Amino acid sequence: MVLYHHRRKSDNTIFYIGIGTIKRANAKTGRNKLWHRIAKKHGIYVEILIDNLSKTDAIKWEIYLIELYGKINDNNGPLCNITNGGDGASGVTFILSDETKKKMSIASKGKPKSIQHRINIGNGHRGINNYMYGKKHTYETKNKMSESHKGIKNHFYGKTHSEKTRQHISQLNKGRTGDKCQNSKKVIDIVSGKTYSCCKDAAEYLSIKYSTLRAKLNGSRPNNTNLKYI
């Protein structure tokens, strides 16, 4: 048996993992509706990953890769596979044992993924392929996420950075304002039209406490200024 995957011609994103014969890998019949929609819209590349596999090994690899990339139907990845692998849509699923997962993990160690492979994995979780694309967490979910990182649940609870680490962090953050900081938002005075490269620059220029201005711009405090994020 062979292990294969299908890529979108438009962006090289992997969208299907399968096993079978080479003929099956190249077949367009017997695919699910989601597969046909993607193939029709983007076109496909067929790539044989491993050949001459026993059925048992082929099933193990199929399940492993589907779990690795994630499925559209499960909102955790770009694959259009309907099942988790194994015997496919027949409903019989071959589940990897912890021992098998450990063996596969050990076998892959020391074998770095190619740059293209890493790019493809990244692309498989960006934009429309991301399971949270177009969605927002509910207020209840946000609170649960927040609570799960507070107090003793926080991974840094009871710990402090060493003096060396604090100095290192300080050096990294020095001068990281405005265009030097990738995460900064520009601020504009909607009356005068003057723009600032970030909230910190605006606060320093207007002699306003940085934390106070940031709270106003973020909406956590009433904004009685003429400033807003662009």
pLDDT in tens, 108-129: 677 666 676 677 677 767 777 6
Which token pair is 28?
A: 């367009």
Per-residue exposure over 14-45, b if at least 16 CB sit within 10 Å of its own CB, e if not: bbbbbbbeeeebeeeeebeebbeebbeebebe
Is residue 62's pLDDT more than 60? yes
Range of weakest confidence among 4-8, 57-61, 68-72, 132-136: 132-136
Is residue 92's pLDDT more than 50? no
CA separation for the pair 28, 49 (Å, rounded): 18
For residue 41, CA distances in Å to 1, 11, 19, 61 come to: 29, 12, 23, 28
Report the length, in residues, of the chain: 230
Mean pLDDT value of segment 47-52: 88
3-state secondary structure of 109: coil
Kindly list the domain boundaries of the chain, sorted by start residue: 2-129, 177-229
CA quadruple 111, 12, 123, 63: dihedral positive or negative?
negative
Percent of the chain with pLDDT over 70: 83
Closest-CA residue to 126 (of 182, 84, 70): 70
Between 18 and 110, residue with greater pLDDT? 18
Is residue 195's pLDDT more than 50? yes
pLDDT at 42: 93
Is residue 88's pLDDT more than 60? no
pLDDT at 89: 40
Report the range out of 15-29, 156-170, 199-213 with the highest average pLDDT.
15-29
User: Which of the 8 DSSP states describes residue 79?
Assistant: B
Between 20 and 156, residue with greater pLDDT? 20
Mean pLDDT value of segment 33-41: 93
CA separation for the pair 160, 118 (Å, rounded): 34
Is residue 173's pLDDT more than 90? no
Percent of the chain with pLDDT over 90: 19
Band of pLDDT at residue 107, cut at 50, 70 and 90 = low
User: Which of the 8 DSSP states describes residue 50?
Assistant: E
Do residues 178 and 155 lie in contact, with contact meaning Cβ atoms separated by under 8 Å? no
Mean pLDDT value of segment 130-150: 81
Do residues 16 and 35 lie in contact, with contact meaning Cβ atoms separated by under 8 Å? yes
Is residue 59's pLDDT more than 70? yes
Band of pLDDT at residue 27, cut at 50, 70 and 90 = very high
Mean pLDDT value of segment 184-189: 85
pLDDT at 91: 39
Which token pair is 108?
A: 């892959």
Is residue 178's pLDDT more than 60? no
Closest-CA residue to 96 (of 51, 54, 59): 59
User: Which of the 8 DSSP states describes residue 81?
Assistant: -
Which token pair is 147?
A: 């609570």
Question: Could you tell me the pTM of the whole model?
Answer: 0.42
